[in-house]
């Protein structure tokens, strides 16, 4: 079921990790950002879009992780954009014939047979540093950064005051750092938060890739909370964060394991390099 969060902007929430697909009304059809995860959910989304008398004219994937790279046969075959880095990363990871089988094995077992991988990762690269999404609809500003994954981008739908944050600024997921791809993942994350802070004044509605939609008051609050978390990681402190430990929302207890895992890997890096991060 589609739910309107701003004029001409609707979301479709998945049962898997409270993933949010975002539909933006354009002049000739809709833009679909991170369509979702399970077959029947994306089929439902395709139905909702066609019942509204609309067709999909463009797609966008916020980053090169499987749960943001899916597409459904019932959705129109249109350009599915991503940043140049996102597209290159996907191309690289899917380049060999065993790639999809490897991804299938990584999927959470309870939904693995419900995730259609046929159209996974068919991403059209935007030229590096493209500032706006090329489509016939409200202006969509691309805010690329290297925080959670290579080529991660948030989208600001300026005329609607909506920030689609990808896997940043979630009320349930902590900042999950990309510890494999960059030299200084902590600083990269802090830089990304500063970029988002720079547009925060223009945001009335915040849509995270996973978790609850927030209002204007949530934008700064979530930026501050994520920054506090990342700084605590850098210093090797235990973060006082409601998403970690006994205060985690029911069903999200595993986030504490993610936290412990990245805290441990950062501690190892500190030992090896003698520098934080």
Residue numbers at the binding site for Zn ion (CB under 5 A):
67, 167, 209
CB-nearer residue toward Zn ion: 26 or 209: 209
CB-nearer residue toward Zn ion: 59 or 209: 209
- For residue 67, the minimal CB distance to Zn ion (Å) is 5
CB-nearer residue toward Zn ion: 57 or 213: 213
- For residue 209, the minimal CB distance to Zn ion (Å) is 5
> Per DSSP, what are the bridge partners of residue 163?
156, 206
CB-nearer residue toward Zn ion: 57 or 66: 66
Token readout for 178 is 């990309």
- For residue 272, the minimal CB distance to Zn ion (Å) is 28
In the three-class reduction of DSSP (H, G, I as helix; E, B as strand; rest coil), residue 45 is classed as helix
Residue with tokens 């090329």: 134
- For residue 34, the minimal CB distance to Zn ion (Å) is 8
- For residue 69, the minimal CB distance to Zn ion (Å) is 10
CB-nearer residue toward Zn ion: 57 or 176: 176
CB-nearer residue toward Zn ion: 19 or 218: 19
- For residue 112, the minimal CB distance to Zn ion (Å) is 16
């Amino acid at each position: 079921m589609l739910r309107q969060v701003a004029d001409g902007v609707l979301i479709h929430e998945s049962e898997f990790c409270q993933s949010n697909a975002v539909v933006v009304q354009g002049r000739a059809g809709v833009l679909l950002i991170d369509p979702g995860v399970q077959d029947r959910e994306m089929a439902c989304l395709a139905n909702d879009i066609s019942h509204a008398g609309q067709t999909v004219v463009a797609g966008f994937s916020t980053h090169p992780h499987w749960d943001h790279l899916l597409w459904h046969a019932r959705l129109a075959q249109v350009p599915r954009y991503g940043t140049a880095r996102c597209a290159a990363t996907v191309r690289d990871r899917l380049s060999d014939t065993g790639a999809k089988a490897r991804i299938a094995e990584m999927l959470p077992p309870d939904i693995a047979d419900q995730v259609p991988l046929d159209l996974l990762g068919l991403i059209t690269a935007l030229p590096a540093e493209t500032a706006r999404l090329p489509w016939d609809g409200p202006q969509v500003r691309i805010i690329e950064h290297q925080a959670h994954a290579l080529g991660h981008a948030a989208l600001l739908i300026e005329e609607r005051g909506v920030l689609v944050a990808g896997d940043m600024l979630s009320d349930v997921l902590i900042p999950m750092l990309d510890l494999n791809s960059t030299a200084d993942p902590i600083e990269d994350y802090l830089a990304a938060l500063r970029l988002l802070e720079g547009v925060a004044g223009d945001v009335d509605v915040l849509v995270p890739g996973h978790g609850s939609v927030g209002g204007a008051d949530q934008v700064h609050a979530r930026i501050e909370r994520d920054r506090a978390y990342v700084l605590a990681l850098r210093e090797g402190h235990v973060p006082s964060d409601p998403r970690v430990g006994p205060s985690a929302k029911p069903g999200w207890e595993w986030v504490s394991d993610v936290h412990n895992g990245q805290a441990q890997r950062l501690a190892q890096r500190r030992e090896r390099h003698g520098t934080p991060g």
